[in-house]
């Protein structure tokens, strides 16, 4: 089963499952998860081929949705699910295939469509780091800077470094091979009729008006909101605003 980071709570709200995006980990969501745990229990996962979870040659959304289903089944009741980017796609497939496991669904800055961009430059940048020369994360950041200009992204990637073992906690070879699947979206039948929010960064172009018909077909109760001044990594760029939006959605009608 996936590695989980659990934040227990005395609160009585529906438990929340947080699903990170490509190159991320549950640890990236630690602050937001802890803050949300004043409502009820929060679990953040490491997806397959990420963090401290198992490595696999498969990285399809069907497989990732099955992983999430096992986590929810293990806790014995439906959960509210918050998924960002790749994690948002996995959460959507979970909700469409196993709607009995999802109470409310929040999809952060992604749509159920195929994207034309590539994440391969970032994989190649990480592959190019000479880990034998890395003693601290700043050493890796300095090497990444040759290919990745944004210091925020450099810091984000180096959170997936195991400094002691001098290895990436990312299965870069499989993620590269599975990139077409990661950028795509599977042909999933059915609908998820539960409350759904597509929360985007106002400066991001990941969720466009062109994708709304597809979204509404799969998620008839979908609502849309944007966080001003945020891009694709909206939870990292505007954490308080993101948290407030999550709370408002999850608590609506409670």
CB 254 within 8 A of CB 242: no
Marked catalytic residue, from 7, 50, 59, 232:
232
Active site residue 245: no
Angle at the Cα of 232 (from 145 to 60), degrees rounded to 5?
95
Strands in 79-84's sheet, in edge-to-edge order, are 4-7, 42-45, 16-19, 79-84, 102-108, 196-201, 222-227
From the list 135, 138, 173, 205, the catalytic residue is: 173
Task: Single out the catalytic residue among 37, 85, 141, 204.
Answer: 85
Is 85 assigned a catalytic role?
yes
Phi and psi dihedrals of 17, rounded to 5?
-115, 125
Give 161-165's long-range contacts (Cβ < 8 A, gap of 24+): 161/131, 161/134, 161/137, 163/134, 163/135, 163/136, 163/137
Annotation marks residue 173 as catalytic? yes
| Residues with active-site annotation | 85, 173, 232
């Amino acid at each position: 089963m996936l590695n989980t980071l659990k934040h227990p709570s005395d609160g009585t709200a529906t438990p929340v499952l947080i699903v990170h995006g490509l190159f991320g980990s549950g640890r990236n969501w630690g602050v937001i998860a802890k803050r949300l745990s004043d409502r009820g229990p929060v679990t953040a996962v490491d997806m397959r081929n990420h963090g401290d979870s198992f490595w696999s040659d498969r990285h399809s959304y069907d497989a990732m949705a099955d992983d999430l289903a096992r986590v929810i089944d293990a806790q014995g009741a439906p959960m509210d699910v918050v998924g960002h980017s790749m994690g948002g796609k996995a959460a959507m497939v979970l909700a469409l295939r196993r709607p009995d496991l999802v109470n409310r669904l929040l999809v952060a800055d992604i749509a159920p469509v195929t994207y034309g961009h590539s994440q391969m430059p970032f994989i190649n940048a990480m592959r190019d780091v000479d880990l034998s020369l890395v003693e601290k994360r700043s050493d890796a950041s300095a090497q990444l800077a040759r290919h990745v200009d944004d210091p925020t992204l450099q810091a984000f990637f180096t959170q997936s470094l195991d400094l002691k073992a001098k290895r990436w906690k990312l299965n870069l070879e499989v993620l590269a091979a599975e990139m077409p699947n990661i950028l795509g979206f599977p042909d999933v039948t059915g609908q998820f009729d539960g409350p759904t929010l597509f929360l985007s960064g106002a400066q991001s172009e990941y969720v466009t008006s062109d994708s709304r018909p597809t979204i509404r077909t799969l998620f008839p109760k979908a609502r849309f909101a944007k966080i001003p001044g945020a891009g694709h990594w909206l939870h990292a760029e505007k954490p308080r605003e993101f948290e407030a939006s999550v709370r408002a959605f999850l608590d609506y009608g409670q």
